[in-house]
């Protein structure tokens, strides 16, 4: 290479490194693209897994659809399955618009990664599942047990604190791949597997013989789950936040996918505004006024989404528990529309 060529090559590398990515606001980008990209769990029945036709089903994919309907008027979503370890990086570098992958909100993730957790859509807790034949009923009896932990989650930290506080030891087996993580437990490589309680319920149910495994009653840590967005686009964050609130408010007002059209004629100013009969809910978010009605008519309210995917109408059969509305003794509480 001649000196000139070398210099030019170097200059071009330098320029490429410095090239700035032009960033328009996310809502218009999604409208131009006609599609929302959403990061989901690669395979967790009830929370995000492809069905036999390859369509993504679950609580998280349904919320992805809700965001798309609010912005585009139709559920055009490109689902990107992501491992626990890769998910936040994929969101940071713009590969996806929003992450809905059973992600627990922590201080570091919310404040240190340049990300934002606008609100929670599932209250969970971290628990332990163990083989029934070991006869363990209390976590205190687990001294010296091997624990399967999935990498990229909050589990590694939580497990250590929990066992140290109890004054007992454990042997961690930390595995990144989701499949290997479960198969290691089922192959008896570990005595205990730890994850969010909802996930343990799924894993137990999808095993060959669920009666062989018990989920212990100890809850090691709270695990509030919710969609995640980048911190640099407040408008998009607002949309994500208020879409989730809309599903909760619809449940409060007893608006369902079936009765949403009838409810529009209800002589109630709140409901009329909420469903876009009278203007008000669209403009502050930069959306059309009928976005709530669109979301509810195709996906239903929070209760319908919950029961269909993880609740009584699903194989998982989870109770609403903490995820019930505040008026029913749960934690779900939506501000005013």
Partner 1 sequence: MHRPTFRQAHGQRIFQFILLLGMAACVYFVAQYVKQRLDSQGIATGFGFLWDRAGYNLGESLIPYDGDDSYGRALLAGFSNTLKVAVAAIFFSLFLGFVAAVAMLSGHRTAERIAKLYVRVVRNTPVLLQLFFWFGIFTVSMPAPRETYSPLPHLYISNRGINFPAPDGTAWAVIAIVVAVLLAAFWLSNQRRQAGKSGSWIFLLSTLGCASLMILLTRAGVIAFEYPAAGRFSINGGATISPEFLTILIGLSVYTGTYIAEVLRGAVESISTGQMEAAQALGLSQGQGLRLVVLPQATRVAMPAVVSELLNLVKNSSLGVAVGYPELVSAGNTAMNQTGQAIELIAIYMLFYVTLNYVITKLSHVLEARYEW
Binding-site ranges for partner 1 (CB under 8 A) = 3, 6-7, 10, 13-14, 17-18, 84-85, 88-89, 92, 108-109, 111-114, 134, 141-146, 151-153, 156-157, 160-161, 164, 170-177, 180, 183-184, 187-189, 191, 230-232
Question: Which residue's entry shows tokens 């269909």?
Answer: 308
Q: How far apart are CA 277 and CA 185, in angstroms?
A: 53
- Least distance in angstroms from the C-beta of 232 to partner 1: 6
What DSSP designation does 20 have? P
Contacts of 326-335 spanning 24+ positions with Cβ under 8 A: 327/252, 330/123, 331/120, 331/123, 332/123, 332/248, 332/302, 333/248, 334/245, 334/246, 334/248, 334/249, 334/252, 335/245
- Least distance in angstroms from the C-beta of 125 to partner 1: 19
Q: Which is nearer to partner 1, 155 or 294 (CB)?
A: 155
Q: Which is nearer to partner 1, 174 or 215 (CB)?
A: 174
Q: Which is nearer to partner 1, 35 or 156 (CB)?
A: 156
The b/e string for 87-120 (b: 16+ C-beta within 10 A; e otherwise) is: bbebbeeeebbbbbbbbbbeeebeeebebbbbbb
- Least distance in angstroms from the C-beta of 98 to partner 1: 16
- Least distance in angstroms from the C-beta of 200 to partner 1: 19
What DSSP designation does 21 have? P
Q: Which is nearer to partner 1, 54 or 112 (CB)?
A: 112
Q: How many CB atoms lie within 10 A of CB 170?
A: 22
- Least distance in angstroms from the C-beta of 162 to partner 1: 12
Q: Which is nearer to partner 1, 156 or 252 (CB)?
A: 156
Q: Tell me the two tokens of residue 208.
A: 């060959």
Q: How far apart are CA 93 and CA 9, in angstroms?
A: 26
- Least distance in angstroms from the C-beta of 136 to partner 1: 9
Q: Compute the Cα dihedral for 38, 43, 46, 47 and give only its sign.
A: negative
173 class by beta-carbon count within 10 Å (0-12 exposed, 13-18 middle, 19+ buried): middle
Q: Which is nearer to partner 1, 233 or 251 (CB)?
A: 233
- Least distance in angstroms from the C-beta of 106 to partner 1: 9
Q: Which is nearer to partner 1, 77 or 220 (CB)?
A: 220
């Amino acid at each position: 290479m001649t000196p000139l060529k070398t210099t030019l090559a170097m200059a071009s590398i330098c320029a490429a490194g410095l090239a700035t990515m032009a960033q328009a606001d996310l809502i218009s980008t999604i409208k131009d693209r006609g599609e929302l990209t959403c990061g989901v769990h690669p395979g967790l029945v009830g929370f995000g897994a492809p069905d036999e036709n390859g369509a993504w089903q679950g609580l998280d994919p349904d919320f992805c659809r809700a965001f798309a309907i609010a912005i585009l008027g139709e559920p055009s979503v490109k689902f990107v399955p992501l491992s626990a370890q890769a998910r936040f990086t994929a969101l940071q570098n713009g590969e996806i618009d929003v992450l809905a992958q059973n992600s627990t909100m922590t201080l570091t993730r919310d404040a240190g990664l340049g990300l934002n957790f606008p609100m929670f859509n599932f209250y969970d807790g971290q628990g332990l599942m163990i083989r029934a034949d070991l006869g363990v009923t209390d976590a205190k009896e687990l001294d010296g047990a091997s624990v399967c932990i999935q990498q990229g989650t909050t589990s590694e930290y939580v497990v250590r604190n929990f066992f140290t506080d109890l004054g007992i030891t454990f042997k961690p087996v930390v595995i990144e791949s989701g499949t290997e993580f479960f198969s290691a437990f089922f192959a008896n490589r570990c005595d205990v597997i730890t994850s969010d309680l909802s996930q343990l319920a799924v894993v137990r149910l999808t095993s060959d013989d669920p009666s062989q495994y018990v989920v212990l009653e100890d809850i090691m840590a709270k695990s509030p789950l919710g969609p995640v967005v980048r911190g640099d686009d407040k408008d998009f964050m607002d949309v994500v936040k208020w879409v989730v609130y809309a599903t909760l408010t619809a449940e409060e007002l007893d608006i369902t996918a079936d009765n949403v059209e009838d409810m529009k004629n209800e002589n109630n100013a709140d409901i009329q505004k909420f469903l876009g009969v009278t203007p008000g809910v669209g403009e502050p978010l930069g959306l059309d006024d009928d976005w709530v009605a669109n979301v509810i008519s195709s996906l239903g309210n929070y209760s319908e989404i919950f029961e269909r995917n993880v609740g009584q109408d699903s194989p998982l059969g989870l109770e609403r528990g903490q995820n019930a509305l505040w008026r029913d003794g749960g934690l779900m509480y939506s501000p005013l529309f």
